[in-house]
Amino acid sequence: MDHVKIKQIFSLALLVFLVGCRPPADLLLKIERHNVKIDAIYNYLPRRDLPLYSKTQLDSLVQELLSDQLMLYDAYKQKYHQRDEVKTTVAAFHYNYCIEFFIKRHFIDSLITEKVLIDRYRALSPDYRDYHPFKKVRDDLYEDELAKRRLIIAEAVADYYQHLKIATMLRLLQPAFDHFLAQYNELVRNTARGDSLEAKPVSILESMHFDSAFAQIKNRQYNRTWLINLMKLRQIDLPRGVLSPASFYNVIETLILEELIYHQSKSEKFDQEPAFRQAVQKYREKTMLHLYQIENINKQIVALEDSLQAFYQKNIARRYLSPAAVEVWTIFAQDSLEAKSVLQKALQGQDFAKLYHRYNARPLKNQGYLGLITANDYGEIGKTALTAGPNCVIPKLVNSGKYFVVIKTGRFIPARPIDYQLVRKEVAKDYSKEKYDAIRSRLTQSLLQKYQTKIYLENLYQYVAKMGAEN
């Protein structure tokens, strides 16, 4: 079955309504016993933009949503969430997000309060507020405020790190630290000289024969084993080059302070808050979906050279042509009557270069010669020149800002194929995208048949209409 036919069947399947059923207002679709709520659609489109979409556009949006949700559901059925690679990646996100959440709560939220955002909104012009309710622009106001206060937030966090360092009496044990750094740098040099150029810092650390403490906080010590385990947990790498004592000191100190913040965040139970748990769940599902797509779609795409060249030949006219170009000379006049007079003189055959020197109001290099330009160059000038043909004065003026432009064209170069070798990377990308879409459609169709799926599109339209009325 060809790709177009599959898409038609898929579109028809999406337009099936559950006759006579009135599901809960937030239910979008149901896959067997798995309910997908309206919030899932915000991964594809910001909430405030949803009312702007037509039914046809929403259908397309739901197609993408349904496809992802079917694959995610199948991933759960195949126990992707129990795989070690998923658990490891989610654990790293959990650790790092604990630190990020702590900083947000203790620094950002105290600076950017709801009152601050409301005051910013009230300072906007009344005309703007008449057409932009606070709820609709709140996120934009928050991002603007965050950008303005970024330096203040960074300074506050740096001050807190310094306070935490002093309060915990963090110090590096100099002899052990010097020994540790010397071994690390020596291993990095040996790795660079050998065959293992891609060796990771974790593997370099593991090959070190040294495990005495190199940092200490009161009664707690930090050593090579701690650093290896932390780097594996957080999925981070040390720099791959030789480090100076000062830079390495900062790396170790920051990692220790972040671990202290992580434990503080856990003690304040930030990781048990709904917003935190929702973020972790969303990341888990994103990781599962990515892994599922790699194994079930991406691995089936094999871009052989013969296939790429055949794809290139098939799509030359549509994708791989250099655009047509034409030589262009211009005269810019500020007055419309003068521009019309200049145009008449040019059409009568008077020397264009002399007219340029006498009447041009916007000096350009090369006496108004723009060179070979395409329809995408110089706005209306390029579009008009390409449609006029070669070796002529165009019998109409073109507006360009505050100027009226007289245009003369020269030689014309038609669109021509770009050499395959010059666009091979682009061809490979386009080929993979087309194959990806085709395999994804077939996979979605098979999952639709495999699982009993019901789609509540009518409910989605009612929900969007309601949102539009509220905004």
Q: Which two tokens stand for residue 355?
A: 């007219």
Rg (CA), the chain: 32
Residue 21 inside a domain? The answer is yes
Q: Is 193 exposed, middle or buried (0-12, 13-18, 19+ CB in 10 A)?
A: exposed
* Domain-located, residue 386: yes
Asked if 264 and 161 touch (Cβ cutoff 8 Å), the reply is no
Answer yes or no: do 470 and 429 share one domain: yes
The pLDDT profile of the chain, 471 residues, written as one tens digit per residue, is 444 444 444 444 444 333 334 445 567 788 888 888 777 777 777 666 666 777 777 777 788 888 999 999 999 999 999 999 999 999 999 999 999 999 999 989 888 999 999 999 999 998 888 888 888 788 889 999 988 988 998 899 999 999 999 999 999 999 999 999 999 988 888 887 765 556 788 888 888 888 899 999 987 899 999 999 999 999 988 877 888 888 889 999 999 999 999 999 999 999 999 999 999 999 999 999 999 999 999 999 988 999 999 999 999 988 999 999 999 999 999 889 999 999 999 999 999 999 999 999 887 777 789 999 999 998 899 999 999 889 999 999 999 888 999 999 999 999 999 999 999 999 999 999 999 999 999 999 999 889 988 877 777 777 777 766 665
312, 434: one domain: yes
- How far is the C-alpha of 240 from the C-alpha of 163, rounded, in Å? 30
Threshold 0.85, pTM exceeds: no
Domains held by the chain: number: 2
Give yes or no: residues 405 and 333 share one domain. yes
The number of helices, as runs of H, and strands, as runs of E, in the chain is 19, 13
51 lies in which domain range? 1-77+297-320+424-471
Q: Is residue 113 part of a domain?
A: no
Domain assignment present for residue 203? The answer is no
pLDDT score, position 21:
41
CA distances from 234 to 213, 243, 258, 260 (A): 21, 21, 11, 14
Per the domain annotation, does 455 fall within a domain? Answer: yes
pLDDT at 39: 74
Could you tell me the two tokens for 279?
A: 């973020």
Do 5 and 72 reside in the same domain of the chain? yes
Q: State whether 301 and 350 are in the same domain.
A: no
Assess whether 310 and 327 both reside in one domain: no
Residues 405 and 359 in one domain: yes
Q: Is 144 helix (H, G, I), strand (E, B) or coil?
A: helix
Domain-located, residue 410: yes
Same-domain pairing of 330 and 412:
yes
Q: Which of 374, 402, 417 is the last residue of a domain?
A: 417
Looking at the fold, whether 374 and 337 belong to one and the same domain comes out as yes
**Residue 358: which CATH number?**
3.10.50.40
What is the C-alpha to C-alpha distance for residues 306 and 9, in angstroms, rounded to an integer? 31
- Whether residue 442 is found in the same domain as residue 315: yes
Task: Find the helix or strand (DSSP H, E) in which 106 lies.
Answer: none
Residue 36 burial by Cβ neighbours in a 10 Å radius (0-12, 13-18, 19+):
buried
* Cα–Cα distance, 302 to 14 (Å, whole number): 30
SS3 349: coil
Q: In terms of domains, do 446 and 390 share one?
A: no
Residue that finishes a domain, picked among 417, 441, 463: 417
Distance of alpha carbon 347 from the chain centroid: 51
| 47 part of a folded domain | yes
Same domain, 366 and 439: no
- Two structure tokens written together for 180: 């540790």
Question: Does residue 23 lie in a domain region?
Answer: yes
